[in-house]
Amino acid sequence: MNDELHVAVGVVIDEHRRILIARRAAHLHQGNLWEFPGGKVEPGETVQQALVRELEEELDIRVGDAAPLLTVRHDYGDRRVLLDVWWTGRFEGQPRGLQGQEWRWVAPAELDSFEFPAANVPILNAVKQLLVAGESLSATS
C-alpha cells in the first residue's frame, strides 16, 4: 500500500456564510466528486503554508486567516489520506478555477446535494454542526 498522503484542506467561508467547494477532475483519485479545496503538503512545508499555496494555485485567492478545524484519516483501499482541515474565514481575491475545475459557493443546507469523497464526511458533519450552532467562523489565532 502507498504511504499516507498528507493534504491541507480549506473550509473557505464567505461573508454570506457560504462554503466554497470544487469538483475534482475526472482523471484524479475520487474524480468528479466535490471537495473542499486544498492539496498535498510538500516536504518542508507546514500545513498552513501548503494551504496558502494550494488555494492560491487552484483558486487565485490569498488566505488572510486560517485556524485548525479537525484532522481526518481515511483509507480508500488504494490510497490512505490524512486531511488537515482548516477554517478560512478571511481571504482576498475572487475565486476562479485556475486548473479548469468547476467550483461554487453553497449554503450549509445545500451541502447534502453534492457527492463528496468518503474522507470528507467528518468535514461535512463538522461544518454543518458549527454553522448551525452559529459559532464564529473567523479564524483568529
Tens digit of each residue's pLDDT (9 = 90 or more) over 77-105: 999 999 999 999 899 999 999 988 899 99
> Strand, coil or helix: what is 118?
helix
Residue 2: pLDDT band by 50, 70, 90 thresholds?
A: low
Q: What is the pLDDT of residue 131?
A: 81
Q: Encode pLDDT of 12-31 as tens digits.
A: 999 999 999 999 887 777 88
Query: Is pTM, for the whole model, over 0.85?
Result: yes
Q: How far is CA 87 from CA 31, 54, 71, 72, 95, in A?
A: 24, 14, 12, 14, 16
Range of 26-30, 63-67, 69-73 with top mean pLDDT: 69-73
Q: What is the pLDDT of residue 28?
A: 78
Q: Which domains does the chain have, with CATH numbers?
A: 5-133 (3.90.79.10)
Residue 128 sits at φ, ψ, to 5 deg, of -65, -40
